[in-house]
Structure 1
Amino acid sequence: MQVIFNHGKESGPWGTKIKVLAKTAEALGMEVSSIDYQGIDNPDQRVGTLKQVIHSLSTPFVLVGSSMGGYVATVAAETPDCKGLFLMAPAFYLGGEADFDKITPTCVTEIVHGWNDDIVPVENSWRYAKRTHSQLHVVDDDHRLVDSLQQTNALFKRFLQTL
């Protein structure tokens, strides 16, 4: 299975969180890739880029997204080949064309969000998780989730092992 990482608006394809989570996925025998969205500020254009990558795959995949990357991954996850969706502080309900009150991927979905997030309110993840019955983990951290990275990585490992 392939794990595809989707970074946030202000970060890059191999930021701190992605590097740590990618090592975990590789240790479990999974292929990893991370799309470079730098220079593409519109989340819906990023969705188009991800969908092109997805259509070229011949195996099932897992999408991982942080912040705007969570927006992108969730919109693109509405396909039978997506087996899992792992989101960190996803940028839900903050603009863009996606209607997160209607988008409901059928794959297993887990969300990690910080109580102290001042970029994307934790209530946005709670709203989405409640409607879709997604697993929501709220941690004592801010938007970047760096202080809880070890905890997030443990959740990610368990998530991958259960797929």
Structure 2
Amino acid sequence: MRGTILLSHGSDSGPEATKVSALAALAEARGWRTQRPDYREDDARGYAASVALRLARLNAAIEACGTPPLLVGSSMGAFVSALASLEHPVAGLLLLATPGAIPGSGAVLDLRHGVPTLLIHGWRDEVCPLQDIVAFAGRRHLPLLVLDDDHRLSGSLPTIEHQFASFLDTLA
């Protein structure tokens, strides 16, 4: 086994969501262990209230890994994955459709410097403004792939899978 990947779904979704399921299957076929925390109970409290709850759940999963995991997240899952990297060593971050902040939570996007990171976002994201992630990536000099898609990135799954496979190859 190459290591563990924790895949965090977005709000209004679940651990069986299309993107995290497809990426988990790809990683498992390449010899990685995967886990998909279930945040639905946390999300029932609303966006702002769920940030701390999600972060606590993800931190517990990271601590149970034993070695630094790769964190993959979509939307709110990406946001808490980035924040978790501030508290724990991680092997890398793949962040999809990432919000720059969660209104009302007091939390803004941040991540540990020096962690291999790939950001993927949609040009037509109607939930998380593109300019926020472009500004964040620019300040940190992080790679950002912007696709002709909306917030769900469902039309870009083959491209995301290809990028994820390449990202895994760089970590192996």
Residue 99 of structure 1 corresponds to: 108
Identity %: 36
Partners of 2:137 and 2:5 lie apart in 1 by: 22
Corresponding letter in the other structure for 1:57: C
In the alignment, which of 95, 99, 109 is matched to residue 87 of structure 1? 95
Corresponding letter in the other structure for 2:71: L
> Residues 93-132 of structure 1 correspond to what in structure 2 (within 5 A)?
93-95=101-103, 96-100=105-109, 103-132=111-140
Contact 1:111 1:134 in 2 (8 A): yes
Contact 1:80 1:106 in 2 (8 A): no
Partner SS state of residue 148, structure 1: helix
Residue 18 of structure 2 corresponds to: 16
Unpaired segments ≥5 residues, structure 1: none
Please say which of residues 10-19 and 90-99 is displaced more in the overlay: 90-99
Contact 1:74 1:105 in 2 (8 A): no
Shift of the alpha carbon at 1:123? 1.1
Please say which of residues 136-145 and 119-128 is displaced more in the overlay: 119-128
Partners of 2:8 and 2:131 lie apart in 1 by: 22
Equivalent pairs counted in the alignment come to: 162
Partners of 1:33 and 1:25 lie apart in 2 by: 11
Change over 3 Å in CA distance of 1:65–1:19 after alignment to 2: same
Partners of 1:127 and 1:83 lie apart in 2 by: 24
Shift of the alpha carbon at 1:106? 2.8
Shift of the alpha carbon at 1:130? 1.0
Shift of the alpha carbon at 1:152? 0.7
- TM-score, scaled to structure 2: 0.89
2:64 matches 1:40: no
Partner SS state of residue 154, structure 2: coil
Change over 3 Å in CA distance of 1:79–1:158 after alignment to 2: farther
Corresponding letter in the other structure for 2:26: T
Partners of 2:69 and 2:87 lie apart in 1 by: 10
Shift of the alpha carbon at 1:27? 1.5
- TM-score, scaled to structure 1: 0.93
Corresponding letter in the other structure for 2:31: G
Contact 1:60 1:82 in 2 (8 A): yes
Partner SS state of residue 19, structure 1: helix
Partner SS state of residue 59, structure 1: coil
> Residues 54-73 of structure 1 correspond to what in structure 2 (within 5 A)?
54-73=62-81
Deviations 1:60-81 (CA, angstroms, capped at 9, x unpaired): 2100010000111000012563
Unpaired segments ≥5 residues, structure 2: 44-49
Shift of the alpha carbon at 1:33? 0.6
